[in-house]
Amino acid sequence: MAADAELAAMATDKRLAHHAAQLWRAGGLRAVTFGAVAKEAASGKSLVSHHFPSHRHLLLAAGHLVAGALAEKLEAIAQALQASDRAARQDGPAILIERLLYEDGEQATCLLELCALALSDADFRDMLAPIFAAIARIAALTEADTRLIQIAVLGELLQHAPIPRSPLGPQGLRERMRLFTAPGAQHPELVEGFRSLANARVEKRALAAEDRQDPSPEDRRERIVLAARNLLARGEDPSHRAIAAEAGVSLSATTYYFKSRTDIVIGIYERIQADTREGRAQAAFASVSDTREFIAALRALLPYYPAHPDATVAHLNLVLLAARTPPLRDWADRAQKLEIAGLRQLLARFEPDIGIDLGRTSLSVISGLALDLLLHPPD
């Protein structure tokens, strides 16, 4: 009752923004519409459009509330850790990830949705600044490399946001994060390699002609997958109708090759994985024989991400789509396990009994770094 009275006493624009933020947290960005906000506020759509002349203005108002709540939560974690002993502070980044994933609903997904908006809108990028400042403060308490922790946090959230929730948290999370926060204890050479990777200067490079070349127009299935990926890279819904229009094919052609939305998502994900591996990852890892060469191979992949932002953006939007679509979550879990298994197979050739889940750790660093390079593009 008190909360209802407080909400009623708010100025109209703040009250509408509050409802928009609630819709965002519960259902994602697509849930924030003029009609949905009007329904929640028991008002007309004209009132919402009077206070927010565009959908972007409505998202900005909601985003300030969502981002503010996230920053407050992370600051509270930082303050609690500051009052803890050193041993407890070492688990600060893992505690941060666990609370974003498993407390108060979909906060990890909200953070990734803010990142998705920030990729094309500086106002949303500004909203991330206090959030990343709080992450940096938590990293400083562990005496760890701030940028590496930020990248690892982003990577862990990308891995786990779409996966069915577990009350125990991501398996092995604290052990993986201690690799970064207590580097003297285990595999210091490997940690130093990850640190150098996180802080590497990545040069922009122009796309080679073969990178820009589209597949043969006769390959209809390939055109449909590329069209779906392009829609996701623009943050648009990859419906059968939208894909048909983007690919320049009939609607029946899309349903022939992809019976369901899940089939479409799997097709896009397989294409992104193939693009990243083919001619790049496989060649880079071909001669890997020890940890240093493994890091060198990862470093060789770095220029790929800023040169191919569409693949990273599409992957981020795939994660968000799976996180907000429960039927896709089991598929996301299986896809991630296959990706980790592939990395582990490559790693096993130089140190099969490393004692930590290096495949998952590497995937966190790689995926977090790919997103960070888009949020903070190289000069």
| In a domain? residue 117 | no
Residue 210 identity: E
Residue 38, pLDDT score:
94
| In a domain? residue 114 | no
Q: What are the pLDDT digits (tens) for 3-24?
A: 555 555 468 899 999 999 999 9
| In a domain? residue 131 | no
| In a domain? residue 44 | yes
| In a domain? residue 256 | yes
| In a domain? residue 234 | yes
| In a domain? residue 223 | yes
Least Cα distance to 154 among 325, 375, 341, 306 occurs for 375
| pLDDT value at 209 more than 50 | no
Residue 175, pLDDT score:
80
Between CA 173 and CA 160 the distance in angstroms is 11
Between CA 79 and CA 75 the distance in angstroms is 6
Of 34, 57, 83, which residue constitutes the final position of a domain?
83
Residue 112, pLDDT score:
93
Residue 1 identity: M
What are the two backbone dihedrals, phi and then psi, of residue 324, each rounded to the nearest 5 degrees?
A: -95, 0
Residue 366 identity: I
Q: What are the pLDDT digits (tens) for 90-139?
A: 888 888 888 888 776 578 899 999 999 998 899 999 999 999 999 999 98
| pLDDT value at 328 more than 70 | yes
Q: What pTM was estimated for this model as a whole? A: 0.80
The better pLDDT of the pair 60, 322 is held by 60
| pLDDT value at 213 more than 50 | no
Between CA 61 and CA 147 the distance in angstroms is 29
What mean pLDDT is predicted for residues 137-152? 87
Residue 215, pLDDT score:
44
Least Cα distance to 110 among 165, 29, 16 occurs for 29
For 216-230, 285-299, 356-370, which range has the lowest pLDDT when averaged over its residues? 285-299
Residue 262, pLDDT score:
74
- For residue 216, what pLDDT band results from cuts at 50, 70 and 90? very low
**Cβ neighbours of residue 88 closer than 8 Å, sequence gap 6 or more:** 81
Of 58, 83, 108, which residue constitutes the final position of a domain?
83
Between CA 95 and CA 4 the distance in angstroms is 32
For 122-136, 183-197, 273-287, 306-320, which range has the lowest pLDDT when averaged over its residues? 273-287
CA 265 and chain centroid, separation:
16
- Long-range contacts of residues 37-45, Cβ cutoff 8 Å, at least 24 apart: 41/15, 41/16, 43/16
Q: How many domains does the chain have?
A: 2
**Cβ neighbours of residue 187 closer than 8 Å, sequence gap 6 or more:** 179, 291, 354, 356
Residue 4 identity: D
Q: What are the pLDDT digits (tens) for 42-93?
A: 999 999 999 999 999 999 999 999 999 999 999 999 999 988 888 788 888 8
Q: Find the domain containing 45 and state its range.
A: 1-83
| In a domain? residue 351 | yes
Cβ proximity of 293 and 189 under 8 Å: no
The CATH code of the domain that includes 334 is 1.10.357.10
What are the two backbone dihedrals, phi and then psi, of residue 26, each rounded to the nearest 5 degrees?
A: -80, -35
Residue 212, pLDDT score:
40
| pLDDT value at 289 more than 80 | no
Cβ proximity of 122 and 158 under 8 Å: no
What mean pLDDT is predicted for residues 280-309? 64
What mean pLDDT is predicted for residues 164-181? 70
Maximum CA extent, the chain: 66
* SS3 per residue for the chain: CHHHHHHHHCCHHHHHHHHHHHHHHHHCHHHCCHHHHHHHHCCCHHHHHHHCCCHHHHHHHHHHHHHHHHHHHHHHHHHHHHCCCHHHHCCHHHHHHHHHHHCCCCHHHHHHHHHHHHCCCHHHHHHHHHHHHHHHHHHHHCCCCHHHHHHHHHHHHHHHCCCCCCCCCCCCHHHHHHHHHCCCCCCHHHHHHHHHHHCCCCCCCCCCHHHHCCCCCCCHHHHHHHHHHHHHHCCCCCCHHHHHHHHCCCHHHHHHHCCCHHHHHHHHHHHHHHHHHHHHHHHHHCCCCCHHHHHHHHHHHCCHHHHCHHHHHHHHHHHHHHHHCHHHHHHHHHHHHHHHHHHHHHHCCCCCCCCCCHHHHHHHHHHHHHHHHHHCCCC
Between CA 137 and CA 149 the distance in angstroms is 11
Residue 237, pLDDT score:
77
Task: Tokens for 371, please give them.
Answer: 């997103």
Between CA 169 and CA 84 the distance in angstroms is 21
Q: How far is CA 296 from CA 128, 278, 299, in A?
A: 31, 18, 5
Of 43, 67, 83, which residue constitutes the final position of a domain?
83
Residue 73, pLDDT score:
92
Residue 221, pLDDT score:
78
Q: What are the pLDDT digits (tens) for 246-279?
A: 888 888 888 888 888 777 777 777 776 666 555 4
